[in-house]
Chains A and B, each alone.
Chain A
Amino acid sequence: MSAVSIEGLTVRLDGRIVLEDVWLEVEERDFLGLIGPNGGGKSTLLKAILGLVKPSSGRIRVFGRDPVAARPLVGYLPQHSIFDQRFPVKVLDVVLMGRYPRVGILRRYRTEDMEAARSALDAVGMLGLADREIGALSGGEQQRAFVARAIVSDPKLLLLDEPTAGVDVAQQREFYDLLKQLNSRMAIIMVSHDLSAISAHVEKVACLNQRLYYHGSKELTEEDLAQAYGCPIVDMIAHGIPHRVLREHR
């Protein structure tokens, strides 16, 4: 069964077409990089997979289910989580939030939830910081904590929206290694505008600019990118090693 199956998805927000006739299949162990210009609908596509945005037409199935019904199977890392950096909450409590779909309303977290939170923190190498306040961590550490929150319910699909924003280059490398490990257990869809990172670390790439220009592999052609971005491209990915991909443009 496909992790995600999207057939002819069109989404309108405030009367504007954000996604148009998108077709996409993501298999169970896929690691898909989603690139495209700002406002191209990348975040909206993730939200549609989560059932947060309703299709104007077309159909989305997540593990064969309706997106809302499939939420317990999906982990989500929102784009640069906007939160009060002085918010009084410990890292462990932030990770526990990810157990909510399993625990449900009005029920308390139990020992098994605590254990799941600890092992998720362990998986991202953050167990030692479990009792620290979230605002006291560096950008990279916070991002790891949010990944732990996204995987704490043992999802089969992980959706990451610009996960490396605010993470320095040294930490980014470790971060992609972590994602590679996680990929052995779950499908991953990662939105990014970092083309070089995408092509170095993911298996498949798709370009989204209202329409989806999907590619089975990360070998992009100049025409593909030009089509998706609607602007000229230079220095294509050569021999699997990306150089400069975009020419200066407005």
Chain B
Amino acid sequence: MNALVEEMMQYEFMKTALVAGLMLSVLCGVVGVYIVLNRIVFIGDGVAHAAFGGIGLGYLLGVDPFILALVAAVLSAAGIAAVSRSKVSEDTAIGVFLAMGMALGVLLMSMSTGYSRDLFDYLFGNILAVSWIDVRIMIVLTVVITLLALALYKEFLILSFDPHYGEALGLPVSRLKMLLLCMVAFTVVMLIKMVGIIMVIAMLTIPAAISRQHLCDLRKIIALSVVLGMIFVTSGLLVSYAFDLPSGATTIIIASAVFFASTAVSQRSAPT
């Protein structure tokens, strides 16, 4: 085991991947808990898919795809929020943005050359391809989003628990919700590097869902989610390296297995 870890860490891309994975675990822990509590899991999923439109545009224009993916993610989050304030229901809005983003991404990518190899990475993730520049961006985002979540802890708690009452208290509910959606959008785009568009939602929800099964204090739930994320990412990297498997998928399989085990345990210990 030690020999394996030593061998792994000789590779620069493995070190980068591990640092990136640990950073993303912090983001997932903080943002994921609010996603689960606010029941906006599928907004996160929609935003991840819509971001693909930005990636396609980046390819066509020769701009860093992740910058445009961020723009597309924030715009689609705002779009979903705006459309669902009208008479269209939220899940319909999510469905439309999700499909439209994917379609745009495929169209734009097909117009540029040599897309098929990278397409696989965007859909299923490739944390080994993360660069040090990416890691720096992740560190900045993680620090900013974590500080925001800490500073607005009491506000986000009211928003998540009872937004209607929050409004009566004079809480800027719609602005806070928009801020939360932006935090989700940024997190989702960073996660695409690690696990890919299709599996983003798993990393956002599984650690938070497991923590919530066993704890009832929000701060502890966030802390445990971060720790769980770190365990999943590290073990995912190790196992995928040892058996030469795709790292993103391996991480998700481990996380899912723990989720089912945790659910079984919490079912048994619950009184009903």
Contacts and interface: CB of A to CB of B under 8 A. Distances in A.
Interface string B200-222: 00000000000010011110010
A88 B154 contact: no
Interface residues of B, number: 26
B170 A68 contact: yes
Contacts of B166: 97, 100
B257 interface: no
A89 B171 CA distance: 19
B170 to A, nearest CB: 5
Contacts, number: 70
Given A52-B167, A71-B170, A76-B165, A88 B215 contact: yes
Contact of B170 (A81, A89, A94, A100): A100
Given A89-B157, A97-B157, A83 B162 contact: yes
A204 B160 CA distance: 37
Given A88-B212, A88-B216, A97 B172 contact: no
A97 B165 contact: yes
B161 A78 contact: no
A88 B218 contact: yes
Interface residues of A, number: 29
B168 A52 contact: yes
Contact of B217 (A52, A90, A101): A90
Interface stretch (A104-112, A190-198, A235-243): A104-112
A148 B150 CA distance: 26
B245 interface: no
Given A76-B168, A89-B218, A100 B154 contact: yes
A81 B217 contact: no
A97 B172 CA distance: 14
B239 interface: no
A94 B168 CA distance: 15
Interface string A56-82: 000000000000100100001010011
A89 B152 CA distance: 16
Contacts of B216: 88, 90, 133
B165 A78 contact: yes
B158 A88 contact: no
A158 B80 CA distance: 36
B160 to A, nearest CB: 8
Interface string B245-266: 0000000000000000000000
Most A CB within 10 A of own CB, among B160, B162, B168? B168
A106 B165 contact: no
A87 B161 contact: yes
Most A CB within 10 A of own CB, among B155, B164, B172, B212? B164
Contact of A94 (B161, B171, B221): B161
Contacts of B152: 105-106
A70 to B, nearest CB: 11
Contacts of B171: 100, 105
B64 to A, nearest CB: 33
A90 B168 CA distance: 21
Given A88-B215, A88-B216, A100 B158 contact: yes
B220 to A, nearest CB: 9
B60 interface: no
A98 interface: yes
Interface string A83-121: 110111110011011101101011011000000000000
A81 B169 CA distance: 14
Interface string A123-153: 0000000000100000000000000000000
A47 to B, nearest CB: 8
Contact of A88 (B155, B164, B172, B221): B221
Contacts of A82: 162, 164
Contacts of B160: 87
B151 interface: yes
A100 B170 CA distance: 8
A225 interface: no
Interface of B: 37, 39, 151-152, 154-155, 157-158, 160-162, 164-172, 212, 215-218, 221
Given A50-B168, A78-B168, A83-B161, 10 more contacts: A87-B160, A87-B161, A88-B37, A88-B215, A88-B217, A94-B161, A100-B170, A106-B151, A106-B152, A109-B154
25 contacts: A50-B168, A52-B167, A68-B170, A71-B170, A78-B162, A81-B162, A82-B162, A86-B212, A87-B160, A88-B37, A88-B215, A88-B217, A88-B221, A90-B216, A90-B217, A93-B157, A97-B157, A97-B161, A100-B154, A100-B166, A100-B170, A106-B151, A106-B155, A108-B154, A109-B154
Sorted nearest first, the 4 A-B pairs with minimum C-beta distance are A88-B216, A100-B169, A76-B168, A133-B216
